[in-house]
Amino acid sequence: MLHLCSDLHFSIKTWSFFSMLFILAFFTTLNYYQHSTPTSLFYFNSFISSATNYTLATYLRHLTLHPHLAGTAPSLHTALYVKSHFQSLNLQTHVANYSVLLSYPLFSSVILHFPNGSVLSLGLVEPGFSSSGVVKPYHAYSPSGSAYGEPCFLNYGREKDYIALGASGVKVKGCVGIVRRGGGLSRNEMVEKAAARGVKAVLMFTEGEFENGVERGTVMNGLGDPLSPGWGGVENGEKLRMDDPLVMQRFPSIHSLPISMKSAEIILKSLEGPEMPYEWRKSLRCSTSGRLGPGPIMINFTYQGEKKMATVHNVFAVIRGSQEPDRFVLLGNHRDAWTYGAVDPNSGTAALLDIARRYALLMRLGWNPRRTIILCSWDAEEFGMIGSTEWVEQNLINLGSKSVAYLNVDCAVQGPGFFPSTTPQFDNLLTEITKKINDPDSEGMTLYERWTAADRGIKIQRLSGVDSDFAPFLHHAGVPSVDLYYGRDFPVYHTAFDSYNWMVNFGDPFFQRHVAVTGVWGLLALRLADDPILPFNYRPYAAELQDYTRILSKLLEGRNISLHPITAATQELAATAKETLDEAKSQ
């Protein structure tokens, strides 16, 4: 009997122990799931409430005190400022340096010779900036050269523009081409199409409100360091020779130079010859003679530049994940600028610095992301996404297999209106996030409400271009990507007028648009870094692929070509996407 009671006592104690262990495990697990997700109200709201326009304005003011072209001493100072900021927040910080080929101007002149014997040397520097440290307007990687010839207006330099010129009897061979930016072509494409038709050199202008502004830019073809195509251009690493055909094909065969709209107007008003097509005259924003040329004035155009090795600096802050440290959510912005860069790119840099500040605050409150967050400050983007491309090439295998997402912000604020671009699996998440952010231009409305009202529904663009640092991540490493802008464009793009003064007077006087973009960017990363199940929805991806398949089918009507493999694959993707989403909702 004593033995039986002893066994019973032991059984009750054992049952009690395991019951308590089960209850403890249950509540520990419940507590874990309640507090490990980024939708945890406390951290989510703490991030939103910690926004201040003052800090964003302060960061931008400091970043834009001096011009900071990649490869120069002021650019290094800007890199050190970003590094110091990350370190002051006790974030794990490091710098990746690369030795790359950059390009700088030495001398340029454009002299007009009129039929009456008079001569005019065009001013090539924006008024008031001759001794400011701002680089003279130029096209990076343009070859040096001299050209003497009659000017001819080429419109945007597209194929159909040359067809129109030929129909008007204009022969462009031997001319100095005058082209305006736009028309869907890159600078490189404009110059190379002109060279293919025998044009001696190209002068390029941008239409806009600032007639004295000159848009600098690169004319190199492709992304990344031309001396290390396909591999990271680490210091003392392998490089191609400058005269290697793979290097030479990256650069145009004729020289070019950007000029102001005011300078272009002087040339265009002096042209004779056949009349411009009506569509060209109607769309031009500057005064012209209404003629195409060539001549009768002559242009003597000389450009001398140098290509030289320079060190560029990518700066990183890492917040290591607590449960999936080998999965990365990357937030990136480039830091280098052609001039002061208040819009392009340092409105985005200010936002990145503020996100770092707010994440550091969350960490002091006890937050730690489930997955690793990496804040990336790129260098030499303006020369052709060089800093980001070299890093992607160096880390390609890890990025392709371990990256959750790359979230890019280049020009955070250009003007009014929210303009996101994503790969389709982000559509639903982005829409959800915008419902949590106050609209900066409409009191009492969320960003979502203003965005849908302005666009009459949700309009999210796709990332088909290669015009910012998302390009190597998406197109080379295959990492799902987002690119965010506030404002479609701005009139001081790549000019000396892209300054803090322009931002406070025109772009975002109270920095509320900065606050909105920073909020969307930071909350996207929080969700991607912390949700136990990644908040991707591939149904929009499948639907878009099915739409493109239908378009392709119509184009191929009447041809004996079967699209069944594509159709079957997209249907399978749609079914799998629905099944995955349903399963995620049931968790």
Q: What is the 3-state secondary structure of 70-119?
A: CCCHHHHHHHHHHHHHHHHCCCEEEEEEEEEEEEEEEEEEEEEECCCCCE
Whole-structure pTM value: 0.92
Quote the strand ranges of 215-297, DSSP E: 217-218, 256-259
Q: Over the chain (587 residues), what is each successive 10-residue block's mean pLDDT? A: 34 34 31 44 93 97 98 98 98 98 98 97 94 94 98 98 98 98 96 98 95 97 97 95 97 98 97 97 94 97 98 98 97 98 98 98 96 98 98 97 98 96 97 97 95 83 94 97 95 97 97 98 97 94 94 92 93 93 83
CATH number belonging to the domain at 103-308, selected among 3.40.30.10, 3.40.50.920, 3.40.50.10490, 3.50.30.30: 3.50.30.30
Which 3-state string (H, E, C) describes 151-183? EEECCCCCHHHHHHHHHCCCCCCCCEEEEECCC
Check residue 353 and give its pLDDT: 98
The SS3 assignment for 459 reads coil
Of residues 126, 150, 265, 381, which has the active-site annotation?
A: 381
Between CA 382 and CA 375 the distance in angstroms is: 19
Q: What residue type is 69 in one-letter code?
A: L
Q: Is 381 a catalytic residue?
A: yes
Check residue 584 and give its pLDDT: 83
CATH class of 41-100+309-530: alpha beta
Check residue 18 and give its pLDDT: 32
Between CA 482 and CA 433 the distance in angstroms is: 13
Q: What residues does 315 pair with on adjacent strands?
A: 95, 377
Quote the strand ranges of 322-465, DSSP E: 324-334, 371-378, 403-413, 418-422
Residue in the block written with tokens 């104690």: 13
Between CA 330 and CA 479 the distance in angstroms is: 10
Note whether 261 and 285 are within 8 A (CB).
yes
